[in-house]
Amino acid sequence: MVSSATALTTENVIIPQRPTTPVQVIAVTGGKGGVGKSSIAVNLALELGRLERSVLIMDADLGLANIDVLCGLSPSGTLEDVFNGTRALDEILVKLDQQVSVMPASSGAHSITSLSHKEYGGLIQAFNSLQAPVDTMVIDTSAGITDQVTAFCSAAREVLVVVCDEPTSITDAYSMIKVLHREFNVNRFNVVVNKVSSNQQGIDLFNKILKVADNNLNVMLNFLGSVPQDEYLQQSVQARRPVVDSFPRSKSALALKKLAKKIHGWPEPKHPIGHVEFFIERLVSHSISTGMIE
């Protein structure tokens, strides 16, 4: 059934004005797949919601969407329906918790970087028309250093890089930081070390990355913290439930709660620069500047 949503085009559309309340947009990335990025994104979003934030999780892996599977959700619509104009953005959101909603993507959906200029304009309109209150947006990017990943990361206010103590993970995380800095002028990164055996292991790994970055890049790296290797986290993934729900007193859940409190303590922007649609506007600017759309 086709809803009242309009096709994604800016022609003959008057975009309503709305209050310019700031939204904290956090892109969770890592370069290498399998580092636990999606699990960290979901659990942090839930804990931020419990700190009285209104959180929207965007599954930005538009080719292999998995947030709905990870959370045991059965969405009735996806971002693809917003792209083709059959659903409004509010109609596809799925409640994960009282304060947290998920914006599901669909496997095989076309890339955000392959949208036409008109479709981008319509997507901005869709975000502008969003009725659900949002003050924090968590973007779960796909694996790799693709145009789609760099588009989301360069458009976000904060970039959170997830890394494990494995040579390929460390190399890919550093490569992500280097590309975003040199090609897209991202200068500040938050690092989370996942699957550690001790807090010291997380600190040591961060210091390795920091040393290389200090020698080669002009960036600011912030060690947000680490998440321990925990069998309860793996059990929660298999049960399709976030670990902060299924095993709230486990080592991994307690570490994720601590990370969320740190994020909650980040200062808000001094000057409001728009609502959630501003994030999509920055995606448009990124795509135009890199020649993805004309």
Residue range 40-68: average pLDDT?
Answer: 87
pLDDT digits (tens, 9 = 90+) for 165-216: 999 999 999 999 999 999 988 999 999 999 999 999 999 999 999 999 999 9
The residues that bridge with 265 in the sheet, in sequence order, are none
The answer to whether 112 and 293 are in contact (CB under 8 A) is no
Give SS3 for 205: helix
C-alpha span between 179 and 161 (Å, rounded): 13
Q: How far is CA 92 from CA 79, 132, 152, 180, in A?
A: 7, 11, 20, 31
CATH number of 24-265+274-289: 3.40.50.300
| Per-residue model confidence (pLDDT) at position 154 | 84
Query: What is the per-residue pLDDT across 77-115, written as a single tens digit (0 to 9) for each?
Result: 887 788 777 888 888 898 998 999 998 876 655 555 566
Name the residue with tokens 């991202």.
Answer: 186
Higher pLDDT, 18 or 108: 108
Task: List the helix and strand counts (H, then E) for the chain.
Answer: 12, 8
